[in-house]
Amino acid sequence: MSSQSGDIEDMGVQECPAKLEDAGKAEVCQGCPGRELCLSQGSKPDPEQKVIDTRLAAIKHKILVLSGKGGVGKSSLAVLLSQVLGNSGQRVGLLDVDICGPSIPTMLGVMDQPVLDSQWGWKPLVSPFDQIKTLSVGSLLGSGSQALVWRGPRKTALIRRMIKDTLWGRLDYLVVDTPPGTSDEHLTVVRLLAHTRPEGAVIITSPQKLAAGVVSREIRFCQKLDIPVLGIVENMSGFCCPCCSEVSEVFASGGGEYLSDKYGVPLLGCVPIEPRLAAAQECGRSFLVDHPDSPAVQAVRRVVAAIQGKSFT
């Protein structure tokens, strides 16, 4: 467990500076072959930051959905969070910056719809059941099976354009679904949102403590970049029977509680596995509309209530 959750510095590997202004200047940067590039990028003011700030200023609340580990159902929960918020009368947008593994268009039922590039920017697609605005690289590709073999700078440039050139209009919430890890995509989003601070991050884990040890890196990432951690959601927390809705434990348990106790952040809730949820999202149906009283939906409603009570009141 200690090898999974210990700091990377303990293994003799130095991390890049978390903040852009320190890139190329920190002690760890000495001798790095990319030092000059980082210095040149960090020293230049962003000429388009005012445009980005103007776009984002029309959005009241921005929530990052993060997890250091893949396969914990982060995108699925980002969709459910957006649907629950939208169902409460809020204007909601969902931005998918998982460049290499976009799944939001399928889950929201907009996979075959083209994105219109107007004179005011990209117009987000709108989910047919929940009226959630969304933009994803999955909607920008010519083919859903097309592989993206992109290096960091190209991914960074695309995320930058998705934030700068998307015509969200006025929103109450923008939920940002991110890929696993703590790398280029995450640093880019945080830097572009810096002047219009996000409310914070919701950290997704699965019940296993081994997975929680990997997810803990995401919490430390947030701490280093001064991103408030709104709380932790333990996904796949038991199995919900599709016949009687009884929830039974099938995996190890306690990953969310372990992280909550270790880092002093709230455990917002535990969401069970529901086969009906996977079936609905795979065919682009709204699980919230089809099964509003399911245990998973009720759990996410409690998560949203906890987030709003913590940060937005």
Long-range contacts at 1-4 (CB < 8 A, ≥ 24 apart): 1/209, 1/210, 1/213, 4/210, 4/213, 4/214
Do 178 and 305 fall into the same domain? Answer: yes
| Residue 7 located in a structural domain | no
Q: What domain count does the chain have? A: 2
| Residue 249 located in a structural domain | yes
Do 96 and 197 fall into the same domain? Answer: yes
31-35-41 Cα angle (round to 5):
170
**Which of the 8 DSSP states describes residue 166?**
B
pLDDT value for 11: 40
The enclosing domain of 156 has a CATH number of 3.40.50.300
pLDDT at residue 4 tops 50: no
Digit-coded pLDDT (tens) for 106-155: 999 998 898 998 888 999 999 999 999 999 988 887 655 566 666 677 88
pLDDT value for 147: 62
| Residue 3 located in a structural domain | no
Digit-coded pLDDT (tens) for 241-258: 777 777 777 777 788 999
Digit-coded pLDDT (tens) for 32-61: 766 666 666 555 666 788 889 999 999 999
Sign of CA dihedral 70, 195, 198, 228: positive
| Residue 277 located in a structural domain | yes
| Residue 159 located in a structural domain | yes
pLDDT value for 19: 65
pLDDT at residue 10 tops 80: no
| Distance between CA atoms of residues 265 and 263, nearest Å | 6
The model's pTM? 0.85
Radius of gyration for the alpha carbons in the chain, expressed in angstroms and rounded = 19
Do 32 and 148 fall into the same domain? Answer: no
| Distance between CA atoms of residues 4 and 213, nearest Å | 5
The candidate with the shortest Cα–Cα distance to 304, out of 271, 262, 278, 279, is 271
| Residue 10 located in a structural domain | no
Do 206 and 225 fall into the same domain? Answer: yes
Do 27 and 140 fall into the same domain? Answer: no
| Distance between CA atoms of residues 156 and 140, nearest Å | 15
Do 140 and 209 fall into the same domain? Answer: yes
Structural domain boundaries enclosing 227:
58-311
Specify the 3-state DSSP secondary structure of 13.
coil
Packing angle, helices 295-311 and 74-87, rounded to 10: 70
The candidate with the shortest Cα–Cα distance to 200, out of 190, 192, 208, is 190
Hey, what amino acid is at 172? D
Diameter over CA atoms, the chain:
61
